Structure 1
Amino acid sequence: MEMVGWIVAIVMFIIAFAGLIYPIIPSALFILGGFLLYGWIDTFSGMNGWFWAIQILFIILLFGADTLSNLVGVKNFGGSKAGMWGSTIGLLLGPFVIPVAGILIGPFLGAVIAELVVSRAGVKQALKTGLGSLVGFLTSVITKGLVMAVMIFVFFLFVK
């Protein structure tokens, strides 16, 4: 039965990392789901209070990294709230409208369009905001990927 637990956990972890490419997939919840399903199958052996405290802090960090990176990226490049919302909408829709490249083009176009239409910013400022959105998104992906890798490493340390 332990082998089934490992297979289920690893599949959940792979889906979580796919969430870095398709942000509509809630990566943090799939990581947590992998821990819980493994624990349920393997009677939670090794998953003590310290394990859960550490993992909950990392999950909070994952949720915060997304929002904070986008906000900082757009704000540091002079964008408005509309640019931030446009970037977020573009991030969610981009990968589905333009497979593969949409993950990068979506947030950029979303921020640019929102700045032009809602904020009535000039083209130069709209493009600058789009660039900020892209920088924020890439920073978020790198940060989330590293945090998720550390979470899985901690999981392996506790359940070995």
Structure 2
Amino acid sequence: MEILLWVIAIVLVCAGIAGIILPAIPSTPLVFIGLFIGAWVDDFERVGVFALIIIGLLFVLSMVVDFVASGLGAQKTGSSKIAAFGAIAGSLIGLFFGLWGLVLGPFIGAFAGELLARKDMIQAGKAGLGAIFGLVIGVATKAATTGAMIGVFLFAYFF
């Protein structure tokens, strides 16, 4: 049974790592669940509560940044709140359209939101590019927090 649980934990972590790039796979939730199972297999002897709290905080940070990054990226270009909302909505809708939807969804959402707010094509384009920049920041944060989560687990397990 222990070997089966380790296999499940490793598969979940690997799927989560793949999910950093593949939009249909929830990356950090899978990594968190996999690491939790890995700690549980050992009855939390090596990876204890403190390490799991740190891993959990990194997980929450990743989810928050990933969710709001496109909207914040659009807002940093001086765009309206409607453009920021459009970027977030575009991110969510884009999830259903694969990789292209993931990339173009925030751009289209921010662009459309800014057109609704100001009807200025140049500013709408800036809002869209800001949303894509936010998306890149979100993916980078997801990769960094996933690596940190795994690093905390491995450090706690082996040291």
- Output the TM-score relative to the length of structure 1: 0.84
1:150 paired to 2:148: yes
Aligned partner of residue 45 in structure 1, secondary structure: coil
Structure 1 Cα separation of the partners of residues 84 and 113 of structure 2: 8
1:124 matched residue in structure 2: 122
Task: Determine if the alignment matches structure 1 residue 6 to structure 2 residue 1.
Answer: no
**Residue 139 of structure 2, aligned match among 138, 141, 147:** 141
Identical counterparts, % of pairs: 34
User: 2-side partners of 1:3 and 1:70: how far apart?
Assistant: 40
* Structure showing the higher helix proportion among its residues: 2
Closer, same or farther: CA 92–25 of 1 in aligned 2, 3 Å: farther
1:40 — aligned with what? 40
C-alpha distance in structure 1 between counterparts of 2:5 and 2:83, whole Å: 43
Which segments of 5 or more consecutive residues in structure 1 lack a partner in the other structure? none
Contact 2:31/2:146, CA 8 A, preserved across alignment: yes
**Does the C-alpha gap of structure 1 residues 107 and 11 become closer, same or farther in structure 2, counting only changes over 3 Å?**
same
Q: Structure 2: which 5+ residue stretches go unaligned?
A: none
In structure 2, relative to structure 1, the CA distance for the partners of 1:85 and 1:24 (3 Å cut) is farther
Per-residue deviation, 1:42? 3.3
Secondary structure at the aligned position of 1:20 is classed as coil
Alpha-carbon distance in 1 for matches of 2:90, 2:14 = 24
1-side partners of 2:8 and 2:87: how far apart? 34
| Mapped contact 1:73–1:136 kept (Cα < 8 A) | yes
Instruction: Give RMSD over aligned pairs.
Output: 2.2
User: In structure 1, what is the Cα distance between the partners aligned to 2:30 and 2:10?
Assistant: 10
TM-score for the superposition, normalised by structure 2: 0.84
The one-letter amino acid paired with 1:62 is: S
